[in-house]
Amino acid sequence: MKNGARRTWRLRLYVAGQTPKSITALANLKRLCEAHLAGQYHIEVVDLVRQPHLARRDDIVVLPTLVRQLPQPIRKIIGDLSNVERVLVGLDVVSHDDPE
Amino acid sequence: MTPRVRRHTAASGKRRGNGNGSGRRPLAKAPTGIAGLDEITNGGLPRDRPTLVCGGAGCGKTLLALEFLVRGALEYDEPGVFLSFEETPEELVTNARSLGFDLERLSARRRLLLDYVRLERAELTEAGEYDLEGLFVRLGHAIDTIGAKRVVLDTIERLFSGLSDNFLLRAELDRLFRWLKAKRVTAIVTGERDGERLTRHGLEEYVSDCVILLDQRVLEQSATRRLRILKYRGSAHGGNEMPFLIDDHGVSVLPITSLGLTHQVSTAHVATGVAGLDGMFGKKGYFRGNSVLVSGTAGTGKSSLAAHFAEAACRRGERCLYFAFEESASQITRNMRSIGIDLEPWLRRDLLRIHAQRPTALGLEAHLVAMHRLIEEWQPRVVVVDPVTNMIAVGSEIEVKAMLARLIDFMKLRQITALFTSLTEGGGAAERTDLGVSSLMDVWMVVGNLETNGERNRTLQIVKARGMAHSNQVREFVMNDGGIALVDVSRRADGSVAIGSARSAQQLDVRGGGRQPRRQRGSK
């Protein structure tokens, strides 16, 4: 942890209703964040069934989509997040976990 | 451009839902409003169903799809959603402006919704199973927001380059097409042609009702666009390639009308403008709505006959549109004045319009569209095309003939009487026309110069005149400052027709009781 400052990971997960893929994705995300970003993350779930206009605003086509709002730049990861390796690469979490 | 036709199709489009129960129900159609396309599809695209429009890059599929939405919004009270996977809304607005469409205004009035999907594989990480539910939500919301009845997806195939799971994409596309039908929207889905395949990812497998292929190729240095309806379930369609054009009026598919041979025929007559000539058609001239061909070699009086015909129309108070492909308007008026035909007053009173243009200035399709437009706008009763042979300069013989057939059909539908002049090469048989177009014509006259006994005399004969008793005589005519006049037939004792000086002599001979034939030789 450089400069002693705690990085905040703002993550937004887009889903459409309580589908098996949505539920799996959220569970996978929570588990992964606890394991790698404990205490430094904030997850917001956006249900497009309730807020369909956000699909256009945030340019969403594929579900589930995980968007890393912070740290910049924005990154997008699609799928139910069952491939943990790829999620970590996609979020660019691995490098920050280095013990340096 | 064709308000009458459009209103009609709009009305018939609203009739959907009727006619249930009694046997086969015709496929309901949504008029595109695109000039010519509704005619060749007998009313438009399959209503509430997706249509695939495919073609290579730059073939015009995006613009055709855009016009389908714009016309829908403006003319049929059917708002539309354009979901673009390639061009941004800004690019679409700019491109549409070149066709005279204001997408921003339509968007502001909520008649149109432009949405752009950006999907770059490099910017996405795939980590597990996914689906396209986001697309469904997004499109569904767009449709509901403006009450859209029309949708364009341009081109959905970009999904395949943005996402890796082809198997899933195919299943989702299948779901999307069924969903579009359930949503009861009339949709155009575009696809990019790839070699022999209609679309790169086989979109045609999902679209069962209507497939339209666009094509652009370069022929003799000019780019020509072609449209073909490959498939139209439950509907008769011409499988031919139709030329189409994109200009500042949008897309125009030719034929703009394709009435076939079902037009009403008239029994009213139209004077030829040459007194003696009417007599050759049983005293009354052509039928209204006839197509008349006047062919002959250079300098035989074709344009003069055309000018007489035009002037006669103006005298009756009818509008005449004169397409001049060889001479300028001022040249024509000057030349015609020299033979006593003064077109000037008719031009001033706007009963006569001369539209002069070099044939090579435009492609063949562009010519036809321009002619259609001028006729449509001004509604003349009489049209002159002088000479139609110059069209050869811009197209092959088959193309020119096809184009003429369309133009003639179009004018017949409006009961416009048309006169075409055709320049024949010297030395050929009199009946030979360079275009082989005589079969399209109702009346065919051949004018010529007969060279005998050291003088050239003008002759005119009617080769055919459908539905009319007509003279079979080769007639002599003279052209002087009083215009064209047919000369009375003069027969020799053996029954042959005498012309030129021989005729003058013969006439004097008859009048003079057989004396002094020699002395009159050489006089007019």
| pLDDT per residue as tens digits for the range B215-225 | 887 655 556 78
Note whether A25 contacts B128, CB cutoff 8 Å. Answer: yes
Domain boundary among B440, B467, B497: B440
Let me know whether B289 and B344 are in one domain: yes
B61 and B154 Cβ atoms separated by less than 8 Å:
yes
Domain carrying residue B129: 3-11+27-253
Task: Please report which confidence band the pLDDT of residue B343 belongs to, taking 50, 70 and 90 as the band edges.
Answer: very high
Instruction: Give the distance, in angstroms, between the CA of residue B306 and the centroid of all CA atoms in the same chain.
Output: 22
Using a CB–CB cut-off of 8 Å, the residues of B that contact A are: 115, 117-119, 123-135, 137-138, 140-142, 159, 163
A residues 8-27 lying closer than 8 A (beta carbon) to B: 14, 16, 19, 21, 24-25
Alpha-carbon distance B330 to A65, whole Å? 71
| pLDDT per residue as tens digits for the range A69-89 | 988 888 999 999 999 999 999
B412 and B289 Cβ atoms separated by less than 8 Å:
yes
- The minimal CB distance from A16 to the residues B118, B129, B134 is found for B134
In a domain, B452, yes or no: no
Q: Is A92 on the interface with B (CB under 8 A)?
A: no
B385 and B323 Cβ atoms separated by less than 8 Å:
yes
Domain boundary among B229, B253, B277: B253
Residue of B522, B478, B485 whose CA lies nearest to B501 = B522
Q: Which domains, and CATH codes, for chain A? A: 8-94 (3.40.30.10)
In a domain, B463, yes or no: no
At residue B486, the pLDDT reads 87
Does the pLDDT of residue B257 top 60, yes or no? no
For chain B, what is the domain count?
2
**Burial class of residue A55 in the structure, from the number of CB atoms within 10 Å of its CB (0-12 exposed, 13-18 middle, 19+ buried):** buried
| pLDDT per residue as tens digits for the range B426-462 | 655 545 555 567 778 889 999 988 887 788 889 898 8
Residue of B32, B38, B107, B85 whose CA lies nearest to B96 = B107
Searching chain B, which residue's CA lies closest to the CA of residue A64? B130
Let me know whether B295 and B228 are in one domain: no
- pTM for the model stands at 0.69
Amino acid at B10: A
Domain boundary among B440, B467, B490: B440
| pLDDT per residue as tens digits for the range B384-417 | 999 887 776 666 666 777 778 878 888 888 889 9
Note whether A61 contacts B138, CB cutoff 8 Å. Answer: yes
B394 and B364 Cβ atoms separated by less than 8 Å:
yes
